[in-house]
């Protein structure tokens, strides 16, 4: 199924994101037990990252996406980046995805890693999106509620989304954010700019202090006062911070669903327990 069909069937699509195991040479199969737990939440689809953090990628994304679709019976969205992949490798990956009957690809430029030489066959995500679309896949794009770090301003970034739509993107997923006001402002700007495809709101539950430091460094997301007060208040109480982080994510997601978001994309961070607790707090709205 092409994912854009989901948005035609229900008012708010619910999806999850996972990443291939990285530590100690873990195999893709080591993630399968966690995926079985996540499948119990009945997400509309699960996305699988590729070369996160600018790291070189392998075939783990395809293997995991194939397991999600064929063994769990859930639609899979395979991420694909071009910053560290040349045209030949991209084509090889697309062939592999096609052979595994993966129909949906999230086309991304990817994070630049200064320790790896950058590939230049595709300069921008929109160029990769066009190639993915031409290969017969449904294309999904990323967007940034606070603007991409390399854009001059948010307005320019919103205008650039037209390139992704013209290249074939049928829906967009946002970078994570912690202030819903940021999302609503971005959504309003996008609609006024003529971006009419569904836009999913990406939310990551923050349940530890180390996660805050790591996540903010990678995403450049701003932190609203309510969030920073929560972190400060429970700085030295691990369990209390965990509970408060779950509660914050639930309140954020409930507001987004009630506010009419086309979909919510939960960055599950391969933690079924966190995803389950958050889901319990929003399931009545889904």
Question: Residue 79: enclosing H or E segment and its boundaries?
Answer: strand 75-81
Task: Please say whether the beta carbons of 61 and 49 come within 8 A.
Answer: yes
Number of domains present in the structure of the chain? 1
- Given this model, what pLDDT does residue 212 score? 78
Q: What is the CATH number of the domain that holds 210?
A: 3.20.20.220
Interval 204-215: pLDDT, tens: 999 998 887 777
Interval 131-154: pLDDT, tens: 999 999 999 999 999 988 777 889
pLDDT greater than 80 at residue 25: no
Average pLDDT of every residue of the chain: 92
Pair of tokens at residue 225:
């006062």
pLDDT greater than 90 at residue 120: no
Interval 228-269: pLDDT, tens: 999 889 988 999 999 999 999 999 999 999 999 999 999 999
Helix (H, G, I), strand (E, B) or coil at 118: coil
Interval 51-89: pLDDT, tens: 654 445 578 999 999 999 999 999 999 999 988 888 999
Work out the angle between the directed axes of helices 225-233 and 238-258 (0-180°, nearest 10): 160
Q: Which of 114-118, 152-156, 184-188, 280-284 has the lowest mean pLDDT?
A: 114-118
- Given this model, what pLDDT does residue 54 score? 43
- Highest average pLDDT, of 26-30, 107-111, 253-257, comes from 253-257
Closest CA to 282 of 14, 34, 16: 14
The more confidently predicted of residues 70 and 121 is: 70
The one catalytic residue among 17, 103, 146, 200:
17
- Given this model, what pLDDT does residue 150 score? 79
| Integer Cα distance of 97 and 164 in angstroms | 21
- Given this model, what pLDDT does residue 233 score? 92
Q: Which of 83-97, 105-119, 255-269 has the lowest mean pLDDT?
A: 105-119
Kindly state the average pLDDT of the residues 258-281: 97
Annotated catalytic, 280? no
Range of the domain at 254: 4-285
- Given this model, what pLDDT does residue 29 score? 95
Q: What's the pLDDT band for 23 if we cut at 50, 70, 90?
A: confident
The pTM for the full model equals 0.94
Q: What's the pLDDT band for 121 if we cut at 50, 70, 90?
A: confident
Interval 161-213: pLDDT, tens: 999 999 999 999 999 999 999 999 999 999 999 999 999 999 999 999 888 77
First to last CA, the chain: 20
Closest CA to 161 of 116, 115, 133, 192: 192
């Amino acid at each position: 199924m092409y994912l854009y069909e989901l948005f035609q069937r229900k008012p708010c699509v619910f999806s999850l994101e996972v990443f291939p195991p990285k530590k100690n040479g873990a195999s893709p199969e080591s993630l399968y037990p966690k995926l079985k737990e996540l499948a119990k939440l009945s997400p509309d689809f699960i996305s699988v990252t590729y070369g996160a953090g600018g790291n070189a990628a392998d075939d783990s994304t395809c293997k995991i996406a194939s397991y999600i679709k064929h063994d769990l019976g859930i639609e899979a969205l395979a991420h694909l980046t071009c910053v560290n992949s040349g045209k030949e490798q991209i084509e090889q990956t697309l062939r592999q995805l096609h052979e595994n009957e993966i129909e949906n690809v999230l086309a991304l430029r990817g994070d630049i890693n200064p320790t790896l030489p950058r590939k230049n066959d595709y300069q921008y995500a929109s160029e990769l999106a066009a190639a993915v679309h031409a290969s017969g896949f449904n294309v999904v794009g990323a967007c940034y509620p606070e603007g991409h770090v390399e854009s001059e301003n948010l307005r320019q970034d919103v205008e650039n989304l037209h390139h992704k739509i013209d290249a074939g993107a049928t829906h967009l997923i946002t970078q994570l954010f912690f202030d819903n006001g940021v999302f609503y402002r971005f959504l309003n700007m996008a609609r006024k700019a003529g971006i009419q495809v569904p836009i999913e709101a990406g939310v990551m539950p923050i349940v530890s202090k180390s996660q805050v430091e790591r996540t903010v460094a990678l995403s450049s997301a701003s932190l609203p006062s309510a969030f920073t007060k929560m972190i400060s208040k429970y700085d030295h109480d691990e369990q209390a911070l965990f509970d408060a982080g779950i509660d914050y994510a639930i309140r954020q997601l409930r507001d987004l669903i009630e506010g009419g978001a086309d979909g919510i994309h939960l960055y599950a961070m391969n933690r079924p327990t966190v995803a389950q607790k958050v889901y319990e707090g929003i399931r009545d709205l889904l």
